[in-house]
Amino acid sequence: MEKYWDRRGFLKQSAAAVATMGMASPISSLLSSCSTKNGLPATADSVILLFMAGGMAHTETFDPKKYTPFSKGMQSDAVLSTFKSLPTALDGIHFSEGLESIGGIIDKGTLLRSYVAADLGHILHTRHQYHFHTCYEPPQSVTVPHMGSWISKELGPLNKVIPSFINIGQRFEVGEGEELKAFHSAGFLGSEHGPFLIPDPTSGLDSVRPPVGMSTKRFESRNQLYNQLLNESAMGEFGSDYQKESLKRSMEQAYILLNSPEAKAFDINLEPKESYDTYNTGKFGLGCLMAKRLVEEGARFITVTSEYEPFMNWDTHDNGHTRMAEMKKRIDAPISQLIKDLEKSGKLDSTIVIVASEFSRDMLTEGRPDLKVKDQVKVPDIINDMKNYGMHRHFTDGCSMLLFGGGIKKGHVYGKTADERPCKSIEKPIRIDRIHQTLYHALGISPDTNYEIEQRPFYTTPDGKGLAELDLLAKG
């Protein structure tokens, strides 16, 4: 049933929302930059993060091992990969069956096979997703900015009309919604650098236009009412000047977008049919299409997620093989086409595209071999049912990423995992602070960028110790 607000209810809810936004950052402190600009030579000016939320098994995707077909009565410890491995555009490099299109364009980027996720105790997806997107382990005493917010703050918009940070594909009404909200935030950097949320790309245009039937005059009246509510809210009374100005700027930016011709970039229905059909494998594929359109229009940072919802999508606690086959159908053509289209338009040279997940999966190991944690899935020693065939447990010691464009090396393979269980990182293990700092390095953001929060410097990576991995970049 749809919910309709009367005027009193609307005002009450809006005031509460304004107060909540104000609480997202330290109310008593005025944000002050302690950053030193080193004049880093940037090789990229925008980023698209394609996030495989839920745990994408490396042995079933970009780092296949020995294939073991299903048979009743098979030993579970004999299963390393449940798909055949197929050759890619890189000599000697194979991807798992079902990823042939991505395999065909991997020579345009870097295959990273040795990402090691953090040890955060009992494994929860949203805790590791928080760590991946912010570079900080939860909980923290302040609301930590998302990497997209850091990029928005430090570089500003490429197109002043298009939001600098856009998030496509994640709803917050499913599963661990509040935990997901915790890292979809600009925190102390201010509301104007927070994500512009598009839960469903098929309804993207609705996010940038007034509701049907609302006149321009009525919309302007609501905007004035919003500013009045802001002034009378907890934010207006107790927030710092920076926080209040940032919140007002975020609304002004949204208002400008609603009245701009650039808003058509959000309408994927304007895409030629042949292109639309190639991307149309579902919500994720159409999110990739929207990301293409937006980065070509001047978006700075876009993340497209397969969406995290417990026990759905990549969160394969059962039926691992069959669900992996379905997920590959959703991502293979869209990711490949995105890289081809960005290359064709000339945007790939200045846009970094990342394909990643919070951690990997394994049949037997929960966590990593030398630091196992409590099992969350019961896997029988003998497999008689197809639902037990596949990767079900959370594995943090070997994960794959793909990186393209924006100064990333082409045709490069970084790191290695063991061919036998445990299939952990054995060459060039790399952690999230190094991934973040490599990204910032390519964008020309100084490694000592920080802001004084609670009378201490707060850096883009913990304690400012993150180092760029120059071996991932064509020009260090």
Q: What is the pLDDT along the chain (476 residues), one digit of tens a residue?
A: 333 334 344 333 333 333 333 334 443 344 545 444 456 789 999 999 999 999 999 999 999 999 999 999 999 999 999 999 999 999 999 999 999 999 999 999 999 999 999 999 889 999 999 999 999 999 999 999 999 999 999 999 999 999 999 999 999 998 899 999 999 999 999 989 999 999 999 987 777 666 666 666 666 676 666 666 666 665 555 556 656 676 666 666 766 777 788 889 999 999 999 999 999 999 999 999 999 999 999 999 999 999 999 999 999 999 999 999 999 999 999 999 999 999 999 999 999 999 999 999 999 999 999 998 988 888 999 999 999 999 999 999 999 999 999 999 999 999 999 999 999 999 999 999 999 999 999 999 999 999 999 899 999 999 999 999 999 999 85
Q: Could you tell me if residue 74 is inside a domain?
A: yes
Q: In the block, which residue shows the tokens 């997209």?
A: 148
DSSP reduced 3-state for 151: helix
Give residue 40's pLDDT: 72
Which of 55, 127, 51, 67 has the alpha carbon at shortest distance from 393?
A: 55
Q: Could you tell me if residue 410 is inside a domain?
A: yes
Query: 9 vs 13, 20, 386, CA distance in Å?
Result: 6, 17, 51
Number of independent structural domains in the chain: 1
Query: 58 vs 117, 431, 436, CA distance in Å?
Result: 13, 16, 20
Q: Could you tell me if residue 312 is inside a domain?
A: yes
Q: Could you tell me if residue 222 is inside a domain?
A: no
Domain extent at residue 295: 25-202+265-472
C-alpha neighbours within 13 Å on the C-beta side of residue 409: 16
Q: At what angle do helices 216-232 and 241-258 cross, to 10 degrees?
A: 170
Give residue 31's pLDDT: 55
Query: For residue 73, what is the domain's CATH number?
Result: 3.40.720.10
Can you read off the two tokens belonging to residue 276? 């639309």
Give residue 36's pLDDT: 44
Q: Could you tell me if residue 226 is inside a domain?
A: no
In 419-458, which ranges are continuous DSSP H helix?
432-443
- Within 8 A by CB and 6+ apart from 214, the residues are none
Within 10 angstroms of residue 249's Cβ, the number of other Cβ atoms is 14
Q: Could you tell me if residue 166 is inside a domain?
A: yes
For the whole prediction, is pTM greater than 0.85?
yes
Q: Could you tell me if residue 1 is inside a domain?
A: no
Tell me if 337 sits within 8 A of 279, measured CB to CB.
yes
Q: Could you tell me if residue 256 is inside a domain?
A: no
